Chains A and B, each alone.
Chain A
Amino acid sequence: MRRLKLTMCSMVAVVSLAVAGCGGESSQSVSSTTTDSGASSSSGSVTRANADLVIWADQKRADALESVAKNFGKKNGITVAVQAVATNLDTNFITADAAGNGPDIVVQGDDKVSSFVQNGSIKPVQLSESQKDKFVANYLKTVTYQNQTWAVPYAAEGLVLIRNTKLAPNAPETFDDLISTGESLVESGKADKPLALQVGDTGDAFHMQPLFSSFGGYLFGEKSDGSVDTSDIGLDKAGAIAFAKEISKLGEKGSKVLTRSIDSNNSISLFTQGRIPYLISGSWALSDIKKAGISYELTTIPGFSGKEPARPFLSVQAFYVAAHGKNTSLAEEFVDNVVSESQTQKTLYDAEPRPPALKSLLKTESAKNKDTAVLAESAATAIPRPKINGLVWSDPLGKAEAAIIGGADPVSTMQSAAKTVAKSLK
């Protein structure tokens, strides 16, 4: 009898410990008070922070967002957490959102629209006509898909030509000028390579696009309603073939202007060593170039002589509202109303100067900063990326370009790339 009682006591102790464990957990969920930038994760899954509004962004944007988020939180009496997700932000977001553990807002490029929509990870944003009018139309178009606006843009990125003014004082008129100037600098021993244009072993369709478009190359046809015509693949058409023949000439078996040994890791650092006159890159390269003390100038990328102008891809950074976030009302409020405010866009611009998405701000900042003006000029004529899963075309096209630069037959390689794209769209 006594033993039974004692056993019971032990059991009670066990249960109360268990309850204490639970109690501890529930009290923790109430106690988020400060606005902080959450833990960053290097890989794998990311854990949602505990706050009234959770924003996921990559490291650079997360820092810039901090003060904007803080103001919004203060105004509405809520906690806001900005979490930096270091790698695979888009796939992490899709997975987390589907599981109901995702953020309320995610900051990503416009090229993710179609995969986010396909996975049902985002909600359309409802901007009024007057709000839409405030944005640069070209930028807003990149996040418009199937009659809906899916995100609110805040900054644009387009490739430009960055020139080392010590090596090449004058801006080239055409791409042929650029190559001949570069090659003569190499011959006279002032430069190691005429041009730093990243290719890498798997190619880089984004960076090759200005050349591709100058020869009249296109990825997909467009239907009358503006949507992608997947039955019309441009990779084996005349423009793309002419482009392929040209990069074959400029490639490793030809004049060696383009080479796979220049990739995303070394292109900028090769330029900042001061031994390459030209770099094709974007706003992200500028801080390294300034740090290295290179005297530089930005210009739009010239087209080949007698060909069409070079038009890079337009890349736009934007705020998306998660479909399965826990705080959709606040997220909509923030994205619809706060992000489109001039003050917000100014703060984000100051943290990282890239052409802002608001017309008025773009005008004033372009007048103040010449780099921004050139970046905006490039973005103005840039081509929005087709609204289908980017990897479907960029992967095979990049690999084909790398292969051609490496010496593969331009015509048959482009034809097989076109077949690959067609096969994955079937």
Chain B
Amino acid sequence: MTSRRFTYADGPSAEPMLTLGRTTSIPALLTKIIFLGLVLGLAVAIVPALISMRSWTMLAILVITVIAVFTIYTTRHCVPAKYLFPGTFFLVLFLLVPVIYTIQISTTNFGDGTRASKSETVSSIVSASVVRDDSLPTYTMSIGVSRHGDTTDDYVLLLVNSTTGRTYLGTTDRLSLMPTAQVTVKKGRIVAAKGYRILTAEQVNNAGDAITGMSVPVNAGKGVAIHTSGISSAYTGTENLVYDSSADTITDRSTGDVYSPRMVNGRYLFVDPQGRAVSQRSWLSSVGLANYTSLFTDSSIRGQLLTTSLWTLFFAVFSVAGTFLAGLLIALLFDEPRMIGRKVYRSLMVVPYAVPTFIGFLIWSTFFNKDFGLVNQLTGLHLDWFGNASLAKIAVRTANLWAGIPYMFLISTGALQSLPADVVEAARVDGARPIRLFFQIKMPLLLVSVAPLLVSSFAFNFNNYNAIALMTQGGPFSSDGSLFGGTDILISGIYRLAFGGSGARFGLAAAVSVLLFFITALMAIIQFRYTRKLEEIL
């Protein structure tokens, strides 16, 4: 059909030499081979990891994606898909997947103390209950592997009692004496044993859990066993806790206390009838919509969330409006040809842009120090800028204004200079005075090109974590343990919920994030509606 596109140049008989889908030229073909090779290579490289993590869904998605890539780019069909695929793929990967993942986390209790699964938690609580008992023998240890087998079950402990010097063979079943004739002991360690090959330090290490988790029972009923410690010694210890999987209880061998899972403050712990927990470790579980309901029903959170949302909105609006107005004013000023030294001023205006925002905000935060700061020293005021929420908000906005003006100045200057001169000229000829000229001609035209940038600036400031974190860390805080500080915007509050404050609470933080996502999305929709109206001017 369309393979004859180049018939005019190639002649009717010229069949393309190399083809892969629709590609005909050699460089294009090579590019395609490399691209597809990379895709396949990457996919193959990820597969073992996915299998080891048992994430079958991801594996299926991967396989389907790779098949899709090959069908789209190696065949002559699906022409629109060839163009749509990359964009769609990255949209899904970088936008939808994180959103879905966040929503998923927001329905769990994921956080500090609830990171692992129940079975993993139980086995780690039990294994951490082994207490070394130095009244029982300690040993120097070598690890041997049976000469006639290579499977991991064949590891044995070749032990020398540290006090008596007698030699033993320890297996996962039992401890038995090893006749001295069968072993060679050097410097208190067994260096050779009949029927066994001795492992080097590195080999012991590489055996991993098979050896670190190995224990030789001495008195199984009481939980007494020999455990390895490092690569060269072993000790006798007692496992104080025992888990009964059928009853789902943990029993303390020494006291006989029985602990069973019970919900304590929204998380499961193993507790005894008196309510004492065996460990503060809980496990990951689904909590449904509990994180969301606590956001809206817990009176202390709800009130704070509302005030913080309003401040976030105000902060973003003020930042955009303030920087844009100031930037535009300065741009208009420097657009005036009668002004002397415009270029010098313009260059100076860009200086804050050249200072990394991190450093800028840190310097500003020292300016506002009550006793040593520049602001109080210059003005003679004694204001406690960061101790009072209203003042702290002013300080943050001031610094953010400083950081944002150059950008607005640059885009305004650019937009002003690209205004059609004939329109402006025509207005002037019609007798429009400067103010009218600006508000009725220049400004609407300016907004057409600048409005999308204002929208993006709004979105940026709505989530301007740096400004808050570097200036105030969200403070000042009241001492009543509130989640959000006086200058916290939503994103800085979420960050503290997830990674700071009183321990990580990823579940709750994810719930707030989802909320934030919907707020931001809603605002973007409204704003784009509005900017579309502007475009009708042209």
A127–B41 Cα distance when bound, in Å, is 48
B41 surroundings in chain A (CB, below 8 A):
17-22
Cβ of A426 under 8 Å from chain B = yes
> Which of B227-235, B320-328, B405-413, B417-425 is near enough to bind chain A?
B227-235
Q: List B198-235 residues whose CB lies under 8 Å from chain A.
A: 200-202, 204-205, 207-209, 211-212, 227-233, 235
Cβ of B146 under 8 Å from chain A = no
Instruction: Answer whether A395 and B502 are a contact pair too, CB < 8 Å, given A120-B120, A403-B479.
Output: yes
Minimal Cβ-Cβ distance residue in A for B232: A333
- The minimal Cβ–Cβ distance linking A2 to chain B, given in whole angstroms, is 8
Cβ of B17 under 8 Å from chain A = yes
Cβ of A198 under 8 Å from chain B = no
| B503 x A330 contact (CB < 8 A) | no
Most central of B138, B211, B371 by chain A CB within 10 Å: B371
Which listed residue (A76, A262, A391, A413) contacts B202, Cβ 8 A? Answer: A76
Which listed residue (B33, B44, B120) contacts A10, Cβ 8 A? Answer: B33
A238–B18 Cα distance when bound, in Å, is 89
Most central of A52, A120, A416 by chain B CB within 10 Å: A120
| B503 x A389 contact (CB < 8 A) | yes
Cβ of A128 under 8 Å from chain B = yes
8 cross-chain CB contacts under 8 A: A22-B45, A76-B202, A94-B115, A118-B112, A128-B138, A201-B472, A261-B369, A399-B479
Cβ of A420 under 8 Å from chain B = yes
Chain A residues with a Cβ under 8 A of chain B: 3, 6-7, 9-11, 13-22, 25, 52-53, 76-78, 88, 91, 94, 98, 114-115, 117-120, 123-124, 126-130, 146-148, 201-202, 252, 259-262, 265-266, 323, 326-330, 332-334, 336-337, 389, 391-392, 395-396, 399-400, 403, 406, 408, 413, 416-417, 419-421, 423-424, 426
Which listed residue (B19, B131, B132) contacts A6, Cβ 8 A? Answer: B19
| B201 x A78 contact (CB < 8 A) | yes
A98–B110 Cα distance when bound, in Å, is 12
| A395 x B503 contact (CB < 8 A) | no
| B479 x A420 contact (CB < 8 A) | yes
A426 surroundings in chain B (CB, below 8 A):
265
| B230 x A336 contact (CB < 8 A) | yes
Most central of B33, B138, B230, B503 by chain A CB within 10 Å: B230
A424 surroundings in chain B (CB, below 8 A):
481, 502
A130 surroundings in chain B (CB, below 8 A):
134
Which listed residue (B74, B281, B369, B501) contacts A395, Cβ 8 A? Answer: B501
| B112 x A119 contact (CB < 8 A) | yes
Minimal Cβ-Cβ distance residue in A for B265: A426
| A148 x B476 contact (CB < 8 A) | no
A237–B96 Cα distance when bound, in Å, is 52
Instruction: Answer whether A202 and B475 are a contact pair too, CB < 8 Å, given A119-B115, A146-B279.
Output: yes
| B481 x A91 contact (CB < 8 A) | no
| B115 x A128 contact (CB < 8 A) | no
B38 surroundings in chain A (CB, below 8 A):
17-18, 21
- The minimal Cβ–Cβ distance linking A151 to chain B, given in whole angstroms, is 13
Chain B residues with a Cβ under 8 A of chain A: 15, 17-20, 29, 33-34, 36-38, 40-45, 74, 112-113, 115-116, 120-121, 124, 128, 130-132, 134, 138, 200-202, 204-205, 207-209, 211-212, 227-233, 235, 237, 240, 265, 279-281, 366, 369-373, 384, 386-387, 472-473, 475-481, 499-504
Most central of B20, B373, B479 by chain A CB within 10 Å: B479
A342–B526 Cα distance when bound, in Å, is 68
| A21 x B475 contact (CB < 8 A) | no
B204 surroundings in chain A (CB, below 8 A):
329
| B476 x A201 contact (CB < 8 A) | yes
B74 surroundings in chain A (CB, below 8 A):
7, 11
- The minimal Cβ–Cβ distance linking B477 to chain A, given in whole angstroms, is 5
A114 surroundings in chain B (CB, below 8 A):
280
A323–B125 Cα distance when bound, in Å, is 12
| A18 x B37 contact (CB < 8 A) | yes
B20 surroundings in chain A (CB, below 8 A):
7, 10
A262–B207 Cα distance when bound, in Å, is 53
Instruction: Answer whether A77 and B201 are a contact pair too, CB < 8 Å, given A17-B41, A21-B42.
Output: yes
A260 surroundings in chain B (CB, below 8 A):
370, 384, 386-387
Minimal Cβ-Cβ distance residue in A for B35: A14
B499 surroundings in chain A (CB, below 8 A):
88, 91
| A399 x B477 contact (CB < 8 A) | yes
- The minimal Cβ–Cβ distance linking B303 to chain A, given in whole angstroms, is 16
A78–B231 Cα distance when bound, in Å, is 13
A22–B49 Cα distance when bound, in Å, is 13
Most central of A17, A76, A128, A201 by chain B CB within 10 Å: A201
A119–B280 Cα distance when bound, in Å, is 9
A117–B277 Cα distance when bound, in Å, is 14
- The minimal Cβ–Cβ distance linking B505 to chain A, given in whole angstroms, is 11
A326 surroundings in chain B (CB, below 8 A):
208
Instruction: Answer whether A25 and B45 are a contact pair too, CB < 8 Å, given A6-B19, A128-B132, A129-B134.
Output: yes
A124 surroundings in chain B (CB, below 8 A):
128, 130
A77–B138 Cα distance when bound, in Å, is 26
Nearest 10 A-B pairs (CB), nearest first? A17-B37, A420-B481, A333-B230, A21-B41, A18-B41, A261-B371, A18-B40, A332-B230, A400-B479, A129-B134
Instruction: Answer whether A77 and B502 are a contact pair too, CB < 8 Å, given A21-B45, A261-B371.
Output: no
A20–B45 Cα distance when bound, in Å, is 11
A296–B163 Cα distance when bound, in Å, is 52
B40 surroundings in chain A (CB, below 8 A):
14-15, 17-18
- The minimal Cβ–Cβ distance linking B135 to chain A, given in whole angstroms, is 9
Minimal Cβ-Cβ distance residue in A for B37: A17
Minimal Cβ-Cβ distance residue in A for B392: A201
A148 surroundings in chain B (CB, below 8 A):
128, 131
A323–B121 Cα distance when bound, in Å, is 12
A211–B488 Cα distance when bound, in Å, is 31
Instruction: Answer whether A18 and B502 are a contact pair too, CB < 8 Å, given A118-B112, A124-B128.
Output: no
| B112 x A266 contact (CB < 8 A) | no
A348–B417 Cα distance when bound, in Å, is 64
- The minimal Cβ–Cβ distance linking A361 to chain B, given in whole angstroms, is 22
| A337 x B230 contact (CB < 8 A) | yes
- The minimal Cβ–Cβ distance linking B40 to chain A, given in whole angstroms, is 4
- The minimal Cβ–Cβ distance linking B19 to chain A, given in whole angstroms, is 6
A19 surroundings in chain B (CB, below 8 A):
41, 44
A262–B20 Cα distance when bound, in Å, is 70
Minimal Cβ-Cβ distance residue in A for B204: A329
Minimal Cβ-Cβ distance residue in B for A391: B502
Which listed residue (B44, B279, B481) contacts A396, Cβ 8 A? Answer: B481
Instruction: Answer whether A126 and B237 are a contact pair too, CB < 8 Å, given A326-B208, A406-B384.
Output: yes
Known A15-B37, A329-B231, A333-B201; 15 more pairs at CB < 8 Å:
A16-B37, A17-B33, A18-B37, A19-B41, A20-B41, A53-B205, A76-B201, A76-B202, A78-B202, A117-B279, A201-B475, A261-B370, A330-B231, A332-B230, A389-B503
| A126 x B200 contact (CB < 8 A) | no
| A118 x B44 contact (CB < 8 A) | no
| B208 x A126 contact (CB < 8 A) | no
Instruction: Answer whether A329 and B230 are a contact pair too, CB < 8 Å, given A7-B19, A420-B479.
Output: yes
A266 surroundings in chain B (CB, below 8 A):
369, 372
